[in-house]
Amino acid sequence: MYSLSEEPLITRPQIDERLKELAESIKAENFDMFLSTLTGGFMFTADLCRNIASSKLEIEFIRASSYGDRTETSGDVEISGFEGLNIQGKKVLLIDDILDTGNTMSKMKKTLLALGPREIKTCVFLDKKGRREVDFEADFVGFTIENEFVVGYGLDYANMFRSYPEIWTVRETDGK
């Protein structure tokens, strides 16, 4: 069982304002490609694209999964979708929803670096700094949050709440 916070942790106006600032700094770097991580990164990536609107920007997706149906990570990260991806010589922005233990982002970045890009930078919408297990910092961060499980804006709890347009907090209540 779970319960959802009564108010959003991060509201839509706060997200929209931060998106504009982020888009401005990202645009200045002239990336060739946004490489977005499914499923959680889809809404953030779409909003970033809308705020950047560059004719030459390529958009690609890979998939990473580490969570089961609960709020604790399983630790093993499965990454797929690299087949046929051409990032050779390109400046790539790797995008994900949230940086938690850091395992997912650091594994994805390592795998991508082996494919010969000119440069890889990373961008996450949320950063739970207090949960890091591997040494990893993103180049662009939307918001830094406390160690709470959050949903909405692409992020899920057991595949629920992804379509909520703002960020909410979820607590597991263990059958109560």
Task: List residues with catalytic annotation.
Answer: 100
Contact status, residue 34 vs residue 27, Cβ threshold 8 Å: no
40 residue type, one letter = G
Closer Cβ to ligand IMP, 94 or 150, answer by number: 150
Helix, coil or strand: residue 131: helix
Strand-pairing partners, residue 79, are 64
Q: How far apart are CA 21 and CA 27, in angstroms?
A: 10
Contact status, residue 21 vs residue 143, Cβ threshold 8 Å: no
Q: Which does residue 33 touch among ligand IMP, Mg ion, none (CB within 5 to 8 A, set by kind)?
A: none
Query: Which DSSP letter does residue 88 get?
Result: T
Binding of residue 102 to Mg ion (CB under 5 A): no
Nearest approach, Cβ of residue 144 and ligand IMP (Å): 13
Closer Cβ to ligand IMP, 103 or 122, answer by number: 103
Q: Which of 40, 102, 117, 154 binds Mg ion (CB under 5 A)?
A: 40
- Structure-token pair, residue 26: 């990202």
Residue positions counted in the chain:
176
Q: Which does residue 142 touch among Mg ion, ligand IMP, none (CB within 5 to 8 A, set by kind)?
A: none
- Using CB under 6 A as the criterion, what x/- string covers residues 90-129 for binding ligand IMP? ------xxxxxxxxxx------------------------
Stretch near Mg ion under the rule CB under 5 A, chosen from 16-24, 32-40, 54-62, 117-125: 32-40
Q: How far apart are CA 125 and CA 142, in angstroms?
A: 4
Q: Which of 31, 44, 125, 149 binds ligand IMP (CB under 6 A)?
A: 149
Closer Cβ to Mg ion, 8 or 40, answer by number: 40
Closer Cβ to Mg ion, 22 or 105, answer by number: 105
H helical segments located in the chain: 12-27, 42-52, 103-113
